[in-house]
Chain A
């Protein structure tokens, strides 16, 4: 018999991106259809592209006893943890449940690799790395979780999920299973990814970077704009009765394309499996979903495949948009940041627009006549779906809902 995966209450959440630090700047940006993208001036990068860079990381410090963990990615994590009372909420959860009973499941794709990229510029005459370079606490994929775990003194199960752009959506599934299995009572989930040369020059090599701000689902889309972000949530078992303003995780769907390393299946078959599984787990039908936050990277192939899959499953007129024109594609943090934007849509009664997109691509509209939200509008979404798909054909969809819409 499989374990029942009960709905989880998202008791606290926060986000930091190029739109600002904390939830209020994100709500404001969503209302004003503001984009945080700007021409790339990151480090010494000489590519004609736009990025969503988080302001102020150069001056961000980690608590002194954790100085070994200092790198751009952990600074971004720290800045985000300090917003919206999130760090305080984790400390309260430690008191309530005990440090052994809190799971820590975070996503990242490149972690602190920037530190190694910089160290390689400073190899000595014998080719040795500079003194003071700390691989385990900065570059290693686990560094983010090691830092957050040390910072809060957590002692429960811990892992990093690093499945490219689905990473910080999949951690919601990890938390759900760990809570259902009785290993933890509460989980700290989220994702952090920061700008680095590997992804900028890497996506450039695949000719997937746009030279202008990205235009998701637009016929003129010409690739993605990279961004950096951190998002965190606390998940706990949901009480049976909940107020309308509470928010819930109702379902998680995961799948693999089994198709190609860097192109999605043209019909989005894997994406469709993930969406169906998320609905099944939530006990919902496609028509129960009021808004979809699309993966919508603005590459020609992603948006065509995703549009097809969404249209085939949800039918004509489903309300959806991609928010990557506002934040950029934040890779391993995308699932987390878009889950938070979806929670804000529920809380604020706001359907996010798609900065950068002038009109829905007619080629997509022909096969999938979506209600693609170009400019933010008021609405009353009660249940939303958030899509995150990635390299290697990894797919994850989340169903999130208001407390009164189980």
Chain B
């Protein structure tokens, strides 16, 4: 059987949004990653999503605040319209706090769950609220790959941008887990990164993946700063930090991002 010639898979990073511990937005994250500002690990502050109608705003959980803040920042930076964009949401697990409340209620004698608690329990809650907030009726992928969720989401978003020849917004995010779930899933705080990816030229940088050598056994690129490296390892969505640093510095070359053990995602970055 003849093999089709495999062109590299590529996409342009057109806009970035970040929200995490000690990182209020991309401007601040960029300064930290360029060593222009020291990193101070402060608890992540979640803004109130004014864009939501009041009823939804009241029900908005951390995943919703995180994705609206980081996603809208990336969309604005890219000069795109959120209402027209396809999205890829990726998170390493469900909303841990909401899940804790449900499991605690189910283990109690009355087993009562509030309807809001239940509809917020779906993995696509952030995607649903995003649609309500922005009016976007475009397709929205909602993925999970445990600790590989950022790399899996990036790959999916790049494939989608290429397949549809239209921009795609990637939103990777994780929220903290309360006790006792934290014993088995020690995610200490919230972190989100959003990348507006465009199939056409322009933007900050071009990302390329070789379809014939997607994964590598090489270890993931690390952060030099100990506190940022600790953040990268503590929250799965923060596995994006080496990519964000390369974007902040405009460093061309090869990057290896954490995916699954022994199978990391290899990327080539070329600044525009």
In the complex, per-residue mask of A1-42: 1 if CB is within 8 Å of any chain B CB, else 0: 111010000000000000000000000000000000000000
Q: Which of A65-73, A76-84, A252-260 contacts B (4 or more CB under 8 A)?
A: A252-260
A292 CB → nearest B CB, Å? 20
Known contacts A160-B144, A181-B211, A392-B125; A141/B184 CB under 8 A: no
Judge whether A117 is part of the interface by a CB distance below 8 angstroms: yes
Contacts of A182 in B (CB 8 A): 4, 6-7, 9, 211
Report 13 cross-chain contacts, Cβ distance below 8 Å, ordered by A residue.
A3-B162, A3-B165, A117-B107, A120-B107, A160-B143, A173-B139, A180-B163, A201-B105, A201-B113, A206-B118, A254-B140, A255-B137, A390-B124
| Interface-facing stretch out of A55-63, A151-159, A218-226, A371-379 | A151-159
User: Does A94 touch B at the CB level, under 8 Å?
Assistant: no
- Give the top 6 A-B pairs by smallest Cβ distance, nearest first: A392-B128, A202-B118, A162-B123, A2-B165, A254-B139, A258-B131
* Minimum Cβ distance to chain B for residue A139 (Å): 8
Residues of B within 8 A of A (CB): 4, 6-7, 9, 56, 90, 92-94, 99, 102-107, 111-115, 117-125, 127-129, 131-132, 134-146, 148-149, 152-153, 155-156, 159-160, 162-166, 179-181, 183-185, 211, 214-215, 260, 263
Docked complex Cα distance between A79 and B125 (Å): 30
How many A-B residue pairs have C-beta atoms within 8 angstroms? Tell me. 215
Interface centre among B6, B107, B263 (most CB of A within 10 A): B107
Q: Mark A112-127, 1 if CB is under 8 A from B, else 0.
A: 0100110111010001
Stretch at the interface among A128-136, A300-308, A339-347: A128-136
Chain B residues within 8 Å of A392, by CB: 119, 122, 124-125, 127-129, 131
A359 to B145, CA, bound (A): 43
Instruction: Place the interface of chain A in its size category.
Output: 35 or more
Chain A residues numbered 145-181 whose CB sits less than 8 Å from any CB in chain B: 145-146, 155-164, 170, 173-174, 177-178, 180-181
Contacts of A116 in B (CB 8 A): 99, 103, 181
**Chain A residues within an 8 Å CB radius of B7:** 182
For B214, the chain A residues whose CB sits under 8 A away are 100, 156-157, 183
Question: Judging by beta carbons under 8 Å apart, are B141 and A174 in contact?
Answer: yes
